[in-house]
Structures are given as C-alpha cells and as structure tokens.
C-alpha cells in the first residue's frame, strides 16, 4: 500500500478481504488498489427519512413449475385425470400402465362423483393369475417423487368398484423394482364412490420414486382424485418446508400473486379463475396455463396464496384478471360480471365468517379475514384497447366497497402523470446488466406527488445473466440502492421470477432453483438478503466522489434488530478494479461500537460465476467482524462486488432514537 505503518482500521478490512480470498481461492494480488473513492454519510436526524414498511417483498408466479411440482408439496401430477381435457377417452399423462394388453385395460370416462371435474380413470384387470407384482398404473410425479426414509406420506384416493377388489398401493423406485412403502387396500363392492386414506411410511430413500396402484385379480375399479402429500409440510398448510424457509430468510414484506402472465392467460378461457381454485381440493377442476404451457390442479389456489402470505408475515397483493388476455379482451360494456367476480373474491378474503363468500373461507379453516389491502388491476395490460375502460369499472367498484384498498395500475407513471386514478403504478424492467446498473437513478426525477411506484418485476436478463450470474446480481443491487434512496416515491419492489424447477427452465434466471429434493439460491437471491432489513428502516443522504464513480453505487440506512441499532452502508463495485474507499459518517447522535460491527461481501473469482446443485455456495455472502469499525475508515472494495458494512451504534444513539 506504499506505507510501512498501515492504519489498524485498514488492516482489519484487508484481513477481511484476505479471509474472503482464501474462501474463494483467489489471489491477494487481485486486490491491488487502482482506484480511490470517498463516501460520506450524513446521519443527521433532520435529513433522515423513513423507508416504507413494504419496500421489499416477493412476487410468486406459476411459471417454471414454481407451484405445481414446487412449493406446493403435492407429489402426484394430474391427480384428477383432468389434464387430458374434458372429452374422453383422454390422455392420462404422466400416469402410465403396468402390464400389457392381455392383462389390463385402462381408459377414462365421465363418471366421477365430482361435478366440476367429471373425468375418472377406469381400470379393468383382465388376468386371473396376474404377475407377482400385479398390474395397474403408476404416477412418477413431477420428474420423480422424493421419498425419504422414515417419513410418512398421506395417500388419499377416491375409488368405486362393482365388486370387492383387493389392491396394493406402493411407493417404489422409478423402475418399480425396489419397494419403499406398501399397503394392501380392500375396495368394497358397490355403486357409490368412497374415499380411502392410507399412511405410507418409507423404508428407504429414493429421489425419483413413483406411486403404484396395482391389483392381482380380475375386476373393474374406477379411480379419481389421487393425492400423495408428505406429512411434514410447512405448518401443515401444504407447502414444501425447505423452500418456504428460503422465502422466510428474505423477510418479505409483501407477496404479489399469482402472476404475471399466468393471471392473464394467452386466451381468457385459460386465465386463472379464483373461484375454481377454492373449496375442497377434490372439487377443483384445475386448468391449463397456456402461457407457460402446463397443467395445474390448482391445489395451490387463491386461499392457499392468502395463507402463504400470512405464514410469511407478508401483505397479500392480489393480481386479478381485468377481462384481458394476451389475445382477447372483454369490451368495457360487458365487463360487469368480471367486476362482480372480483368483488366476490375480496369478500372471500375480507368478509366476515357470516358473509356469503367469507363463510366459504371459514369453512376452509380460516374464520378470521385475510388483510388484503393491495390489488393490481391486470398485468402488463396498459396498452390494450379496453384496459382504461375496464380499469375504471374495477377501480370505482372496489373504491366504493373497500375504500382502504390500494389499487395498482398497469400504466407507468414514473416519467409522465397517469391519466386515470391510482394509488400505485406498476413498473417492470428486464434488461441487461449495464442497462439496469445505469437505471439506479431512474426515479430521481419522478414527481414527488401522485401515485407511488410498485417495481413489481425487475431482473437482469440476456447473455450476461446466464442462469443467475454474479454480474446480474450486482446490477440489480445497484438498482435497489436507487430504490432505497427514492423510497419516498417507490413503495414496493420485487424480483422476478422467484422460483424455477430445474426440470422446466422456461425462464432464466430466477432467484431460487430446486428439484424434487434440492434447492439453492442464485446470486440474485443472496443479493436480496442484504436488502431485507431496508423495509421500515431509515435512509440517509450520501455523497460519493471518485474518478470511477460511474461504476459505483451506494446507499446508507439505519436499521434495528431486537437489541441493537446499525448503520448499514452498501456499496456496489461494478467495475473490474479494486477500489480504495474512505467511508465517513457524520451527524451520529452517538459513536460507532466496534463490538457487533460486521462486513459482508458478495463476490466471486469470475463475474459470470453461478451457483449450482454441485456447488450451491460458490457465490454467497461472506461475513466477518469489524473489530476496528469507526466513524471514518478506509476499506477496499473487491472488483465486481457488493459489500455491506453494518456499523453497530452505541447505546447513546439508541436512547437518542427513542
């Protein structure tokens, strides 16, 4: 560094960087400082501004099998045999037959006892002396069922047989040769459908298992609504625990759902219909999502999304269809039934347990209302012919019935005023890393009056995003520092998409990648963990000066945990050179306490580095203590990095804040 006597503060930070280098197997020479900069933070109370409590949340869309085969823990794919359409005979995919033409005949008909999904499977066993393992059908789930040793799985199925028949239900390996769990079931003869429940306890682990339903004697049996759920779902609410845990770690303040384009549909006939997704799961018809091209049984429905928001401690943001899809629209003169439908959805969520739709919610197990206070009228529909006319019909009806609900327009009001009333407006951005980095000042010149911005979808896409690169996460972090600084006009923001099943990579990149039994966060996920304390925090003005300031982005906030208060300074170094940075904080009511102060850095040896199942922690934040933290300190920012300095504030500051 050109000096024999290095200040202790600088030595501390450089030791931190050396520690990080060891973990990443990089060379100390890579941190030779070629650029210098200074960052001033003015923490004076009269210049501080509270960030909205809702600033950072999450957006869930049924895309990439995020729900079906994802956070919704149902293991059976096409459990009601409806995916092949309402006409029979129909395709039963992914169900397959065990046996040949001489031993079994399998088809579909419309004899189900469920009025909203009439298709049932008819299985006729033709053999008197069937093979040892029997003949029947099997379901591989969503690219294989994850069955784990010692765990219990709850099987439910509806059956009917004119004569008593003995059957076997089994969890087996993908080839059927290894049996992990098995139970004999007697189906009594009769003309009525019956519901059978069976617990299966696994004696072995297989990540690509299947469910088998077999028989060994001649007979006919009908089956419908076959479900297999693990017994250890999150709070017993049907969600995959390990994926929900990753969401909880983000501390989301809101949950936007269920889309996205999933809400619109390529055609209205395939749009998400909330009332078809509530009530007993057996009675839900399911639907084909024709934008992302797969069937969903809608076990993860409107009620479950509201329950998920509650479980996460997040405010629900209900995005509903406003009579517009990608290819067809309802004229404003005929939109009244759609408006009534959405008013009913709000009564379902918010109405008393004695109201028409609130009683349906109560019957599902939630007598207390869900606090829906945000609705988005459509998704990316601003330029459509009937959007403004339809929007006003919904807006006026909801405002009259629920005056406290905040309504979100699809039209961007960041640069020009909206021509219609709204509480918030949607802002979506998908672009390259350099472009998004340059957008960190997007809202600097936005009008400070009028509706607030909801940046409900943002992400780096394209070649420099890969499947979730460090470079992408750094550009996104820079963009978020701009949202923090402009949080007087930006009220909410969420990354998109949230989830991707590794077997259905329709949209890359995403925040969380999973398969039947593994999961990891991309760098964009880990980047968001460094912003999870921002909602409800206090933002401070900063001054940044450097010859390379065009490649730096920064913000400063004060946040509190249960016991302490911290000044968090976040700096993105988007450039290829290490930067020597002097940080100075003024206006503090007390002093910085080295005890409890930390530095966290997100970087890697290569700017296009990604995480994977083989190396899920290749690009993750590394945190160390800052034992010599002070009001002024000299630090080194690694090339292509996001660094967060959490400087613990002394007790005197806490008293002053109170």
* Mean pLDDT, all residues of the chain: 93
Q: How far, CA to CA in Å, does 644 sit from each of 528, 584, 588?
A: 12, 15, 19
Specify the CATH number for the domain of residue 39. Answer: 2.60.40.1180
One domain for residues 425 and 330: yes
Q: Please tell me the distance from the alpha carbon of residue 424 to that of residue 407, in angstroms, as a whole number.
A: 6
pLDDT band at 31; cut points 50, 70, 90: low
Question: What is the arithmetic mean of pLDDT over 172-186?
Answer: 97
266: phi then psi, degrees, rounded to nearest 5 = -65, -35
- Residue that finishes a domain, picked among 482, 506, 530: 530
pLDDT band at 420; cut points 50, 70, 90: very high
Q: What percent of the chain has pLDDT over 90?
A: 90
One domain for residues 515 and 576: no
49 pLDDT above the threshold of 90: yes
One domain for residues 414 and 502: yes
439 pLDDT above the threshold of 70: yes
549 pLDDT above the threshold of 80: no
Which residue segment(s) compose the domain that 141 sits in?
Answer: 96-230
- Nearby residues of 12 by Cβ (< 8 Å), 6 or more positions away: 626, 627, 628
Say if CB 216 and CB 487 are below 8 A apart.
no
One domain for residues 547 and 478: no
109 is a domain residue: yes
- Residue that finishes a domain, picked among 199, 230, 261: 230
311 is a domain residue: yes
**In what order do the strands lie in the sheet containing 254-257?**
58-59, 254-257, 315-320, 374-377, 406-409, 424-431, 452-460, 490-495
Q: Please tell me the distance from the alpha carbon of residue 407 to that of residue 540, in angstroms, as a whole number.
A: 29
pLDDT band at 10; cut points 50, 70, 90: very low
387-398 residue pLDDT tens:
999 999 999 999
One domain for residues 360 and 243: yes
Give first-to-last CA distance, the chain, whole Å: 43
Give the per-residue pLDDT at 564: 87
4 is a domain residue: no
Q: What percent of the chain has pLDDT over 70?
A: 94
Answer whether the bond into residue 509 is a cis peptide, omega within 30°: yes
Give the per-residue pLDDT at 18: 39
656 pLDDT above the threshold of 60: no
Q: Please tell me the distance from the alpha carbon of residue 133 to that of residue 401, in angstroms, as a whole number.
A: 60
505-530 residue pLDDT tens:
999 999 999 999 999 999 999 999 99
One domain for residues 571 and 624: yes
158-170 residue pLDDT tens:
999 999 999 999 9
201-215 residue pLDDT tens:
999 999 999 999 999
One domain for residues 226 and 266: no
Q: Please tell me the distance from the alpha carbon of residue 595 to that of residue 629, in angstroms, as a whole number.
A: 8
If one compares 6 and 238, the residue with the highest pLDDT of the two is: 238
The domain tally of the chain equals 3
- Residue that finishes a domain, picked among 512, 530, 548: 530
Give the per-residue pLDDT at 628: 83
85 is a domain residue: no
Give the per-residue pLDDT at 584: 95
Q: Which two tokens stand for residue 275?
A: 């009332």
One domain for residues 332 and 478: yes
Question: What is the arithmetic mean of pLDDT over 421-436?
Answer: 98
467-511 residue pLDDT tens:
999 999 999 999 999 999 999 999 999 999 999 999 999 999 999
One domain for residues 501 and 420: yes
246-284 residue pLDDT tens:
999 999 999 999 999 999 999 999 999 999 999 999 999
Give the per-residue pLDDT at 1: 32
Q: In terms of DSSP bridges, do strands 490-495 and 452-460 run parallel, antiparallel, or are they unpaired?
A: parallel
pLDDT band at 651; cut points 50, 70, 90: low
Give the per-residue pLDDT at 27: 31
14 is a domain residue: no
Give the per-residue pLDDT at 548: 72
50 pLDDT above the threshold of 90: yes
298-327 residue pLDDT tens:
999 999 999 999 999 999 999 999 999 999
182 is a domain residue: yes
Give the per-residue pLDDT at 93: 97
One domain for residues 284 and 334: yes
Whole-structure pTM value: 0.94
Q: How far, CA to CA in Å, does 310 sit from each of 5, 304, 305?
A: 55, 10, 9
Question: Please, which residues bridge with residue 228 across strands?
Answer: 155
Specify the CATH number for the domain of residue 342. Answer: 3.20.20.80
Specify the CATH number for the domain of residue 195. Answer: 2.60.120.260
Give the per-residue pLDDT at 591: 87
23 is a domain residue: no
pLDDT band at 41; cut points 50, 70, 90: very high
629 pLDDT above the threshold of 90: no
209 is a domain residue: yes
One domain for residues 414 and 515: yes
One domain for residues 264 and 115: no
Catalytic residues: 380
């Amino acid at each position: 560094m050109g000096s024999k006597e290095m200040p202790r503060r600088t030595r501390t930070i450089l030791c931190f960087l050396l520690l990080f280098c060891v973990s990443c197997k990089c060379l100390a020479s890579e941190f030779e400082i070629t650029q210098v900069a200074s960052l001033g933070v003015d923490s004076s109370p009269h210049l501080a501004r509270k960030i909205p409590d809702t600033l950072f949340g999450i957006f869930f869309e049924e895309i990439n099998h995020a729900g079906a085969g994802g956070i919704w823990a149902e293991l059976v794919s096409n459990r009601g045999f409806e995916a092949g359409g309402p006409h029979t005979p129909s395709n039963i995919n992914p169900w397959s037959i065990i046996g040949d033409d001489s031993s079994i005949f399998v088809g579909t008909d419309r004899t189900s006892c469920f009025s909203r999904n009439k298709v049932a499977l008819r299985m006729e066993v033709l053999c008197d002396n069937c093979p040892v393992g029997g003949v029947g059908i099997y379901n591989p789930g969503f690219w294989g069922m994850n069955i784990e040793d010692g765990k219990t799985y709850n099987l439910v199925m509806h059956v009917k047989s004119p004569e008593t028949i003995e059957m076997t239900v089994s969890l087996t390996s993908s080839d059927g040769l290894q049996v992990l769990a098995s139970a004999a079931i007697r189906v009594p003869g009769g003309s009525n459908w019956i519901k059978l429940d069976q617990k299966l306890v696994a004696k072995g682990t297989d990540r690509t298992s299947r469910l088998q339903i077999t028989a060994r004697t001649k007979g006919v049996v009908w089956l419908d609504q076959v479900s297999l759920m693990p017994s250890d779902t999150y709070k017993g609410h049907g969600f995959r625990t390990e994926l929900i845990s990753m969401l909880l770690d983000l501390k989301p303040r809101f949950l936007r759902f269920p889309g996205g384009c999933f809400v619109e549909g390529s055609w209205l006939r395939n749009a998400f219909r909330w009332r078809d997704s509530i009530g007993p799961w057996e009675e839900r018809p399911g639907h084909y999502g024709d934008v992302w091209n797969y069937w969903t049984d809608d076990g993860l429905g409107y009620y479950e999304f509201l329950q998920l928001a509650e479980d996460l401690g997040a405010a629900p943001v209900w995005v509903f269809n406003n009579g517009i899809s990608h290819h067809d629209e309802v004229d404003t003169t005929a939109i009244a039934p759609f408006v009534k439908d959405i008013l009913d959805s709000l009564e379902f969520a918010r109405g008393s347990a004695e109201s028409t739709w609130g009683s349906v919610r109560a019957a599902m197990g939630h007598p207390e209302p869900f606090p829906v206070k945000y609705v988005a009228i459509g998704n990316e529909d601003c330029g459509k012919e009937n959007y403004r006319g339809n929007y006003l019909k919904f807006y006026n009806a909801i405002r009259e019935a629920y005056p406290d609900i905040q309504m979100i327009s699809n039209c961007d009001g960041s640069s020009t005023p909206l021509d219609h009333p709204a509480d918030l407006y949607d802002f979506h951005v998908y672009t390259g890393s350099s472009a998004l980095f340059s957008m960190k000042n997007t809202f600097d010149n936005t009008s400070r009056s009028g509706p607030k911005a909801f940046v409900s979808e943002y992400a780096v896409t394209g070649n420099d995003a890969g499947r979730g690169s460090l470079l992408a996460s750094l550009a996104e972090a820079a963009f978020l520092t701009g949202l923090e600084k402009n949080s007087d006009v930006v009220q909410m923001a969420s990354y998109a998409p949230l989830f991707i099943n590794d077997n259905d990579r329709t949209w890359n990149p995403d925040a969380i990648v999973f398969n039947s039994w593994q999961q990891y966060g991309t760098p964009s996920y880990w980047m968001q963990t460094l912003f999870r304390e921002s909602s409800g925090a206090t933002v401070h003005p900063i001054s940044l000066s450097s010859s390379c300031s065009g490649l730096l982005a920064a913000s400063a906030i004060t946040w509190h945990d249960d016991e302490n208060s911290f000044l968090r300074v976040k700096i993105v170094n988007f450039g290829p050179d290490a930067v020597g940075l002097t940080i100075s904080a003024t206006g503090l009511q007390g002093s910085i306490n080295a005890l409890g102060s930390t530095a966290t850095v997100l970087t890697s040896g290569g700017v296009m580095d990604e995480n994977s199942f083989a190396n899920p922690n290749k690009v993750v934040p590394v945190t160390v203590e800052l034992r010599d933290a002070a009001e002024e300190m000299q630090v080194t920012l690694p090339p292509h990095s996001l660094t967060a300095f959490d400087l613990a504030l002394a007790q005197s500051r806490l008293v002053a804040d109170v």
